[in-house]
Structure formats: C-alpha cells, structure tokens
Amino acid sequence: MKKKILVTGGAGFLGSHLCERLLNEGHDVVCLDNYFTGQKQNVVHLLKNPYFEIIRHDVTTPFFIEVDEIFNLACPASPIHYQYNPIKTMKTSVMGAINMLGLAKRIKAKVLQASTSEVYGDPKIHPQTEAYWGNVNPIGERACYDEGKRAAETLFVNYHKQNNVRIKIIRIFNTYGPRMHPNDGRVVSNFIVQALKGNDISIYGDGNQTRSFCYVDDLIDGMIRMMNSRDSFTGPVNIGNPGEFTIRELAEKVIQLTNSSSKIIYQPLPSDDPMQRKPDITLAQKELGWEPKVQLEEGLIKTIEFFKSVI
C-alpha cells in the first residue's frame, strides 16, 4: 500500500538514504530540512520522482501536513556540529520531538524517533542493552545532544502512554557510508578524507577507545523494519553493528584500503569521549528479524569510492 511519509532531516546523510529507499518502495515522500548540516545535493537526484517533495522548514516551529508516518531524524549528529550551537541542538531535539509528536497525535500518524547510542553516555556495562540507563554527564560538552535525545525519548514514551500516539524509538550506533559530509568531523569521514589527501590521520587520545560501525544500508533496513513492526513494540531498540574496533584499528584499516602514505598523529581526546561502544542487538534480532549484513571492510571500500568521487 502506498503511504504518505514525512522524513525530517531528510536532506542529511541518513535522511537522504531513507527518502531514496522509501521512494523505491513506492511511497509518497515529503522531505523536511533546514539545511543546517544537510544539503539539497543529497536529494536532488530524487526530485525527478513526482512522489518526492522537499520543504525548507525548521522543526523547532510547528509544521502541518497530512501523512501516515513520520520519521524524525532532524538533528545535527556530528560532535563538531551539535556543539556549534548547543542551545539550538537541544531545542531541535526537544521542541522538534514535541512538534512531531503533536502532529502525529492530531493526524493519528505513526512516528519514529532517531535516538542514539549516546543515551548510554560513557557506558559502564558492555555491550549495551536497551535496559541500561546510561552514564551521561548532564553539563558536559556532549550534554546538549545526549540529554536532548534522552528528553526526546521521554516525550515519545509519554505521548504514547498519555495520548496513545503510536511511537517507535531506535537507538542508532555509529553509522557511516556514502553522503557523509567530507567536513562533518566524524571519525570515518575524517580518516578517509585525510588518507585520500595524504594528510596526517588524526587520532584523538591513544586510539584505544572503541566504536561499532554500521553501514548505512543495514541501518536504513533496520529503521524501516522498526516502523513496520507491530504497534505494541515501541522500542527503544538498538540498531547497530556489534563488530567492535579500536579507533587505531580503524585508522590502520583506512590507510591499508586507500593505499595511503598518510601517517597517524595523536591529538588530545575531547572531554567525555566514551571509551567503548558496542550494541547488544538481541532485541532487534528477535523483534525485527534484523541484523547487519555489511562488514566493516566491505562498507569502508564503498565509502572510500564515494569520497574519491567528491574530493
């Protein structure tokens, strides 16, 4: 059945892949974005599809439309961008959630929140299950993002309990792939761009901190499965790749796959940078029949090809 679907943050990295996938499935897609970190270029190839529309709008102000489903992705995701204007970041998460939940309530739409592994902060249990409450510094550099996303989860759960809004919450772990912004500042894009340009590879700290990297196609598959799951399953559910790598291992892999002569340099670790991150995906496997298929090397090769074409 053809559905009318709103994607906030649709011109960003994940949003543009989501819009493309939903259009390919035959849906009518409205992409809403204020272009803070997203770009028209990410979705311009979709404009020839008559079932695709883009609207410039900021989610901190109310928006009116009739749709069946809402994917709420609007929010800068890279630390340099979300720390650029921390008050705005928090407004985007909190007021954006209130506006999208209010819309969903009024038009009886189903609404999915793109939450994050950052709700676990610098985790004291490993790997992270959805039952873990997290270890977040409420006044640190990352708080505008982490606490904003945590407050958004609270709002989602309470609109569900109080107003019967059909909600879905996914906690996304570090995701990478084509259409990441080359200056986005996240580790995968930074390392690939540095390696391709022959610049030094900047490891923050000693490089022993870990992350688990999910390829974008797998992530989008998990996100759509969550939206289509039974109404009583609201989440939160972890969506990420359990393969865990140190940042030094990632740097070495990128150097090897790009055949680069770049050297690794060590720079100060930003404050509150989590030491480890790995999703327990048992719940996603059970409820959504989902697990990632693309392993790190295969995903990095595709991502390197993309960056070769844009830099």
Q: DSSP assignment of 235-275, as one string? A: --EEES---EEEHHHHHHHHHHHHT----EEEEPPPTT--S
Whose tokens are 């921390």? That residue is 86
76 makes contact, choosing from ligand UDP, ligand NAD, none, with CB < 5 to 8 Å by partner type, with: ligand NAD
SS3 294: coil
59/288 with CB nearer ligand NAD: 59
Q: How far is residue 3's CA from residue 70's CA, in Å, rounded to a whole number?
A: 11
178/207 with CB nearer ligand NAD: 178
Give helix then strand counts, H and E, for the chain: 9, 13
Active site residue 120: no
Residues forming the site for ligand UDP (CB under 6 A) = 78-79, 174, 186-187, 190, 202-204, 209, 211, 247, 269-270, 273
Other CB atoms within 10 A of residue 285 CB: 11
99/116 with CB nearer ligand UDP: 116
Q: Which residues pair with 291 in a beta bridge?
A: none
Other CB atoms within 10 A of residue 308 CB: 11
**Least separation, in Å, of the C-beta of 174 and ligand NAD?**
5
Does residue 299 belong to the site contacting ligand NAD (CB under 6 A)? no
Does residue 172 belong to the site contacting ligand NAD (CB under 6 A)? yes
Annotated active-site residue in 145, 159, 176, 215: 145
Binding part of the chain for ligand NAD, among 55-63, 133-141, 197-205, 292-300 by CB under 6 A, reads 55-63
Which phi and psi (to 5°) does residue 147 adopt?
Answer: -75, -30
Task: Cite the active site residues.
Answer: 145
Per CB under 6 A, residues contacting ligand NAD are 8-9, 11-15, 33-38, 58-60, 73-77, 92, 114, 116, 172, 174-175
